[in-house]
């Protein structure tokens, strides 16, 4: 399977995408281009020509230090909000499950975040369910204090993981 991860564009066929989760399908079909146009999210797709095999969205975020584990709070500056990157969505079309595309998309999201000139300390996501949380957990994301599906990994941990 050969695909390129690129920014979502008009050429991509969003209507054929089906990951089995209606909210994720609807986002790609109806909301993603609006978010891009409004500069509130970056949406990248794993594409083979015009066909979308998977996608993810990234946005800037802030996180209150109080919901970080105590050991990490002590290492962070004493700001009301810490800068973060939010992986808003990550989805793989049902036809491409089992091909490790989710891993490729998450890795790309990590690398793209690290390439940003904007400062950030944490990479966050809100897993849809326990299964999604377990997927992210395999790559070092851990739960925050407020919700077991609200996950984080530090920038430094990502740098070590991707060997940058």
Q: Which of 121, 112, 123 is nearest to 151 (CA)?
A: 123
Output helix, strand, coil percentages for the chain, rounded to the nearest 5: 35, 30, 35
pTM of the model: 0.94
Rounded-to-integer distance, Cα 81 and Cα 65, Å: 7
Which residues of the chain carry a pLDDT beneath 50?
Answer: none
Q: Which pLDDT does position 164 carry in this prediction?
A: 55
Domains of the chain: 4-162 (3.40.630.30)
Q: Which pLDDT does position 111 carry in this prediction?
A: 97
- Which residues, 6+ apart, have CB-to-CB distance to 30 below 8 Å? none
């Amino acid at each position: 399977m050969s695909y390129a991860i690129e920014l979502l564009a008009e050429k991509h066929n969003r209507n054929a995408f089906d990951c089995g989760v209606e909210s994720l399908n609807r986002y790609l079909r109806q909301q993603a281009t609006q978010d891009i146009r409004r500069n509130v999210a970056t949406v990248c797709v794993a594409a083979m020509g015009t066909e979308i095999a998977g996608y993810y969205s990234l946005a800037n975020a802030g996180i209150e230090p109080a919901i970080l584990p105590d050991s990490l709070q002590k290492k962070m500056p004493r700001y009301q909000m810490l800068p973060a990157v939010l992986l808003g969505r990550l989805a793989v079309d049902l036809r491409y499950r089992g091909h490790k595309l989710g891993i490729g998309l998450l890795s790309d999201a990590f690398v793209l975040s690290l390439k940003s000139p904007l400062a950030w300390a944490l990479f966050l996501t809100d897993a849809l369910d326990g299964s999604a949380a377990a997927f992210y957990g395999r790559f070092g994301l851990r739960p925050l204090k407020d919700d077991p599906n609200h996950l984080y990994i530090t920038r430094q941990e990502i740098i070590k993981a991707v060997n940058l």
